[in-house]
Structure 1
Amino acid sequence: MPKIFKTNAEIATCGGKLLKLTHDSKETGTQMDVNIYLPKQYYDKSKKECHESKIPTLYYLSGLTCTPNNASEKAFWQLQADKYGFTVVFPDTSPRGGDEVPDDKNDWSFGKGAGFYLNATEPKYAANYRMYDYVHKELPSLLQQEFGSDGKLDFIKNKSITGHSMGGYGAISGFLKNYGAYKSCSAFAPICNPSVVGWGIKCFSNYLGSDNKAAWKQYDPCDLVKVVKSTNASDKVLIHVGTKDPFLNEHLRPELLLNASKGTTWEGKFDINLVDNFDHSYYFISTFVPEHAEFHAKHLGLL
């Protein structure tokens, strides 16, 4: 069987290896970069070749302008993946490609690097900007085909999701839209109500249509909590936001998610932690990665 992924680098780090990969995506119509960290448990020769329990996966969705390398280098997920025994997948934030992929070179918060984890419907962007189906459907399937065939890794059934900023919104939105598919969800400084803040309005308008507010609601966590029913008593979404985050009051607005969840089955299930003095950077993210890793490890059955 021909290989799906091209390995551009295989880097020993902590107790496992970080693989930097490229593959052709039918969803985006482009080549896509993705990094995966295989923890030390994957390489443990003392374990049986056929693991009784497969190594689960945590998907990490990055924020505006990021590539798969940002979190791979700065978030320090690898140490936690080794501690608990899960794989980490770092997808890209948008289709890339050349001039055939539409972009706004004058705006870092829209276009390439800012796919907003949705399926665009506006004709200019619909062919390439299909990051929702790419992240939640195509990529896990391709990873399972190539890396899960030996029975050690599980990219589809036992998985959780997290993300930062735009990726935090993408994680919460994807968790709710695929309720039951992910064992847990967390977010670092997420865009909580994109329909009413600048970054979200810009991306929703251009990708989905400025007048198509019904489509906006299909991705906005503050709308999804009203239509997606929580049926599991253990449901909880862990969120950290820094009080000195420069985007807190203009773009993130975590209080709007709390308000939207009131009177729904999600009331009391968003554990939003405002942490003093922290900003929007990877210094902030890496500080709270251990807490998020433990949270996901419990839900993935590793504790």
Structure 2
Amino acid sequence: MQKIASNQSFGGLQQRFTHTSEVLNCEMTLAVYLPPQAQQQNVPVVYWLSGLTCTDENFVQKAGAQRVAAELGVMLVIPDTSPRGEEVPDAPDGAYDLGKGAGFYVNASQAPWDQHYRMYDYITIELPKLITSHFPVKPGKAAICGHSMGGHGALTIGMRNPEKYCSISAFSPIVAPSTCDWGRKALSTYLGDDESVWAAYDSCKLIEQREGQHVQPILIDQGTSDEFFDSQLLTRPFDEISQQQQRDNIDVRYQPGYDHSYFFVASFIEDHLRFHAKHLNAQ
């Protein structure tokens, strides 16, 4: 890992790194916030997954998470949203919802995407190994959260890997990608036309499959004035299935008047970090 930036923040360090990813077959950039407690001891880690068009910088600069992370003694890890570089394929028409900035946290199986777009393995395997080998991480104490496409990633990755993540949270998540425009475009391109394969990356399908089984504690916030709330099937379908299954450890909150922006994320990120800290610090 090559450090390319480091700034003091609330007694800790907000840092940025590049590294060569074997999984994605390209150079990647990521951000890490080290709370002041990391100078003396191992600390739990919260992984943040960002949404369409974002890089690692959006959350770092707009969410205002460092103050609370410093208080709670939680490390924040913020990866990019897709592979990058001249050799990495992109949407032929330059569309924002496919290709660079739109990895959707899946392992692509279709050419030419399958040579680089393996964000699922990057987030679940390569990135944690990288973080634990370079930073004072408390073993077995990780959580995952995200926004929009990143909320989709957090829910699917978290539910599929309960041994890796103590808790899950999301802002305005794409919960039914198999049936919304953003999701169908990405999943058909990266995974092919067999929709049965898509189910592994659809949080509604995943929780249906887990009826009667344990799922980690989940917190979701959704703005009622989100411009994509209905058109991209955000949050509500997952909420309805959770209620049908009577899951009391899934808390879905609808926030009146809030939209899809980072103003929304910044308004409630403290709640999410405190939610994760409670479960990360549980015995």
What is the Cα deviation at residue 76 of structure 1?
1.1
Equivalent residue for 2:176? 193
Q: Tell me which residue corresponds to 1:76.
A: 64
AA aligned to 1:159 is A
Size of the aligned set, in residue pairs, is 282
Cα distance in 1 for residues equivalent to 2:82 and 2:63: 20
Question: Residue 25 of structure 2 aligns with which residue?
Answer: 29
Q: What do the CA deviations read for 1:192-218 (whole angstroms, capped 9, x no partner)?
A: 111000100000010001x21111001
- Unpaired runs of 5+ in structure 2? none
**What's the counterpart of residue 137 of structure 2?**
153
SS in structure 1 of the partner of residue 7 of structure 2:
strand
Corresponding residue for residue 123 of structure 1: 111
Which whole-Å CA distance do the structure 2 matches of 1:252 and 1:165 have between them? 11
For 1:86 and 1:253, locate their aligned partners in 2 and report how far apart those are by CA, in whole Å.
28
* Partner residue in 1 for 2:38: 42
Which amino acid is the alignment partner of residue 143 of structure 2?
S
Give the secondary-structure state (helix, strand or coil) at the position aligned to 2:201. coil
CA distance in 1, matches of 2:186, 2:119: 13
Q: Which residue of 2 aligns with 1:101?
A: 88
Match of 2:271 among 291, 296, 299: 291
Report the equivalent of 2:231: 250
Aligned to 2:253: 273
2:218 aligns with 237
Alignment RMSD, CA only? Answer: 1.8
Please say if residues 35 and 70 of structure 2, whose CA atoms lie closer than 8 Å, have aligned partners that are also in contact.
yes
Deviation at 1:227, TM superposition (A): 2.2
Task: Give the deviation of 1:236 after TM superposition.
Answer: 2.4
Report the counterpart of residue 170 of structure 1 in structure 2. 153
Kindly provide the amino acid, as one letter, of the partner of residue 261 in structure 1.
S
The residue that corresponds to 1:19 in the other structure is 15
- Secondary structure at the aligned position of 2:247 is classed as coil
Could you tell me whether the CA contact under 8 Å between 2:172 and 2:234 is conserved in 1?
A: no
User: SS state of the match for residue 76, structure 1?
Assistant: coil
1:228 and 2:215 matched: no
Q: CA deviation at 1:229?
A: 5.9
Q: What's the secondary structure of 1:218's corresponding residue?
A: helix
Structure 1 residue 230: deviation in Å?
6.5
C-alpha distance in 2 between matches for 1:86 and 1:166: 23
2:277 aligns to what SS in structure 1?
helix
Aligned to 2:167: 184
CA apart distance, 1:39: 0.4
Compute the displacement of 1:231 (Å). 5.1
| TM-aligned CA deviation for residue 83 of structure 1 | 1.0
Distance (whole Å) between structure 2 residues aligned to residue 126 and residue 255 of structure 1:
31
CA shift at 1:263, angstroms?
Answer: 5.0
Normalised TM-score (structure 2): 0.95
Structure number having the greater strand percentage: 2
Larger radius of gyration: 1
Q: Unaligned regions of 5+ residues in structure 1, if any?
A: none
Match of 1:17, SS state, is strand
Instruction: Find out whether 1:111 has 2:99 as its counterpart.
Output: yes
Partner Cα separation in structure 2 for residue 255 and residue 9 of structure 1? 39
| Amino acid of the structure 1 residue aligned with 2:84 | R
Residue 262 of structure 2 corresponds to 282
Following superposition of structure 1 onto structure 2, how do residues 199-214 of structure 1 map, counting pairs within 5 Å?
Answer: 199-209=182-192, 211-214=193-196
Q: CA offsets per residue over residues 125-148 of structure 1, 9 Å max, x none?
A: 00100000001110110111122x
Q: CA deviation at 1:262?
A: 5.1
SS of aligned partner of 2:226: coil
Deviation (angstroms), 1:71: 0.2
Letter in 2 for 1:282: Y
How many percent identity over aligned positions? 40
